[in-house]
Amino acid sequence: MKRMLLTISYDGTAYHGWQVQPNGITVQETVQNALCGLIGVRPALTGCSRTDAGVHARKFCCHFDCDDKFPEKAFLRGLDSLLPPDIAVRDCAEVPPDFHARYSAKGKTYCYYILNSRCRDPFAARYSWKIEQELDADKMNTFCSGLVGRHDFAAFSSAGRSVEDTVRTVSECTVTRSGDTVILKVTADGFLYNMVRIITGTAVGVSFGKIPPDATRDIINSKNRAAAGDTAPPQGLFLEEIYY
């Protein structure tokens, strides 16, 4: 047996997140079905993250074990042909037997995209949060800068999280504007359930004057979800990069 690292991209609009669920189609299930059709067995597929329903990934990694005779050269094209148009194969490579798509990751980068305009954009509707009121990137950056470092991010996680340890290290958290698009970028060694979406919703609340820009430390120290802002909708969130 050998372990393979599969890298894909996907539009999460039609899926109930990554992980297999009994109540809806997921990315994991769809990729497993395609792998089964290609290699004749349904392998266990372990992902690098558990993206929520409607969340997208420009780069998503997962691993599976297969027979040593696995035809690597023909695999990419064959798997791609069995997947729907909203999931694409980017790469597949053999990795050491002890490699783990989730636990071997050193960090991840997420970006949240906001369409900050009074006009609708039919090409951005599935991939951004539309906000008409002008956002103040300077205020948002003041808030975001306070998140950098090693902190307990319990206040920035929904109650449905599956882990007890809520301490994470954020190495970057910035807000930039390009025309009508505002992008919040976060890089960390790991993320809690809904963490980036809550950070984004809180940053928007800061811009609107609902939360002081310098309240970051107080929110962190509270360890109380109610102290942070709203949870941003899923469609603006993209998993951009995984670091191994």
Position 151, amino acid = H
Which position has the token pair 């997208």? 56
**4 vs 229: CA distance, rounded Å:** 40
Q: Which of 52, 68, 80, 98 is catalytic?
A: 52
| 158 φ, ψ (degrees, to nearest 5) | -75, 160
DSSP category for residue 83: S
User: Under a CB-based contact definition with an 8 Å cutoff, are residues 63 and 46 in contact?
Assistant: yes
**Which residues face 56 on adjacent strands?**
238
68 a catalytic residue? no
The pair of three-digit structure tokens given for residue 41, joined into one six-digit string: 């067995």
**Which residues face 40 on adjacent strands?**
none
The pair of three-digit structure tokens given for residue 17, joined into one six-digit string: 């997140």
What residues are annotated to the active site? 52
